[in-house]
Amino acid sequence: MASDKPHMNLVVIGHVDHGKSTLVGRLMLDTDQFPAHVIEQFKKEATEKGKGSFFLAWVMDNLKEERERGVTIDVAHKKFDTDKYYFTIIDAPGHRDFVKNMITGASQADAAILTCSAIEGPQAQTKEHVFLSKTLGIDQLIVAVNKMDAVDYSEEKFNEAVEGVKKLTKLIGFKDDQVRFVPVSAFAGTNIKDKAPEMGWYSGPTLLEAVDMFDLPNKPTDKPLRLPVQDVYSITGIGTVPVGKIETGLLKPGMQVHFNPSNKIAECKSIEMHHEMLDKAEPGDNVGFNCRGLGKNDIRRGDVGAPTDAPATVAKTFTAQVIVLNHPSVITVGYTPVFHAYTAQTACQFEEIQKVIRGGKEVENTFMKTGDQGVVKIRPTRPMVVEKAADFPPLGRFAIRDMGQTVAVGVAVDVEAR
Ligand code: GTP
Ligand code: MG
């Protein structure tokens, strides 16, 4: 059994270099996910090469290698557990594709840890990531004010970062009790598992105590299955294995699964999570499942698995409520940016601008600009699953990106099926 403890998905977000990967490495270490001899080996090798301080990064690099060598189902996901929960942790990767991948990660998460450097305080991506997380349905956040070792564990520096981040979370609509602030050093391992004597001024929880304070998300098991496919693997001797997080409903071996928009049906033969077989998977579970009668290229990232009697809706058009966050000029009919929803990324065209609200008032306008809210009709340029956000929230929320920026966010209020 994967674990008898309840399962939660956590995404680690934050500005470049604020310590996301180091924090994930540290959480893995402090919850004993690596055998002691492996850690000793890393410390030894890193020290011999004069890079003792890199040993945490080495731990992560080793995982990366491991991932590339074997075809495992939990590619970008790692796990750890506490007394209370069993966590899948998603380290949003850096570099160019960062925001795109961060959106996928956040769309799969029940809660987020935001790393914010105590040296720099909140930066551009701190704001963008928090905004996107909220849009994608995350309403529980821990702000790990990181690199406290580099500011002499100063209470003043911590408070500065807290004030800066609080301004953002308030603006974005988080309530005070949905956000918790914890000073840490991911690098030194301070206040992660054990209370830190260096920060006698801090009386709150350690990071591992704080993650146990997350509320368990409710599990919509009564709805039909919706399982957005994140990746599809072909494993020798086993067959085709789609991987993804179940959003609603249940998946059981023997079930016929209908994948849309590819319109393929296959039998689920077996299900696994973190290398352990499951006889049933439920909302929140990040699974790989072996499918009879499915070729590797029959389906792809962005397909959504569902029961044959309630397949996911392939949208001809959909009506959306959108908020324009950041557009260099104006959005008019014909604009075709990329919509990021669950694991799908599809160019979609603005077909009608039905309503524009500016400064709280409806205006007669045929364009939208930064700060506007509106109701628009959207047409995907390729087949794409979209559900009404009211029915299946994770499949009806999206970020709209263009020119390397998030220009708008929105929800689908109505869907015209193909
Ligand atoms: P991207 O994935 O590129 O966005 O970066 P990241 O947020 O994953 O940051 P990463 O963990 O790679 O750390 C970036 C740098 O900050 C590295 O040099 C780390 O060693 C350093 N760093 C991370 N955490 C701490 C910390 O707690 N204290 C100090 N002093 N340095 C840290
Ligand atoms: Mg990183």
Q: Is the CB of 129 under 6 A from ligand 1?
A: no
Indicate which ligand has the atom closest to the C-alpha of 151.
1
Indicate which ligand has the atom closest to the C-alpha of 145.
1
CA-closest residue to ligand 1 atom 29: 147
Q: Is the CB of 147 under 6 A from ligand 1?
A: yes
pLDDT at 277: 93
CA-closest residue to ligand 1 atom 15: 17
Separation of CA 407 and ligand 2 centre (Å): 24
Separation of CA 93 and ligand 1 centre (Å): 12
Q: Is the CB of 17 under 6 A from ligand 1?
A: yes
Q: Is the CB of 60 under 6 A from ligand 1?
A: no
Separation of CA 146 and ligand 1 centre (Å): 9
Separation of CA 414 and ligand 1 centre (Å): 43
Taking only the tens of pLDDT, the chain with its 418 residues reads 446 788 888 999 999 889 888 898 899 889 988 777 777 777 777 677 666 655 665 655 555 543 343 322 233 467 889 989 989 888 775 444 556 667 777 777 889 999 999 999 999 889 888 888 887 778 899 999 999 999 999 999 999 999 999 999 998 889 999 999 999 999 999 999 999 999 999 999 999 999 999 998 888 999 999 999 999 999 888 889 999 999 999 999 999 999 999 999 999 999 999 888 999 999 989 999 999 889 999 999 999 999 999 999 999 999 998 888 889 999 999 999 999 999 999 999 999 999 998 877 889 988 999 888 889 999 999 999 999 988 998 899 898 999 888 888 888 999 999 9
Got the DSSP string for 216-242?
Answer: PPP--TTSPPBEEEEEEEEETTTEEEE
How many degrees, rounded to 5, is the angle at CA 183 between CA 180 and CA 186?
A: 115
The span from the CA of 417 to the CA of 154, in Å, is: 56
Mutate to test the pocket of ligand 1, among 15, 53, 187 (most ligand atoms within 8 A of CB): 187
Q: Is the CB of 22 under 6 A from ligand 1?
A: yes
The span from the CA of 276 to the CA of 270, in Å, is: 10
CB atoms within 10 A of CB 106: 25
The span from the CA of 352 to the CA of 415, in Å, is: 14
Q: What is the DSSP letter of 197?
A: G
Q: Is the CB of 94 under 6 A from ligand 1?
A: yes
Indicate which ligand has the atom closest to the C-alpha of 17.
1
How many degrees, rounded to 5, is the angle at CA 220 between CA 253 and CA 207?
A: 100
Q: What is the DSSP letter of 101?
A: H
The span from the CA of 387 to the CA of 250, in Å, is: 18
Residues 6+ apart with CB under 8 A from 298: 240, 259, 262, 264, 266
Indicate which ligand has the atom closest to the C-alpha of 18.
1
Ligand 1, residue 24: give the atom nearest the CA. 11
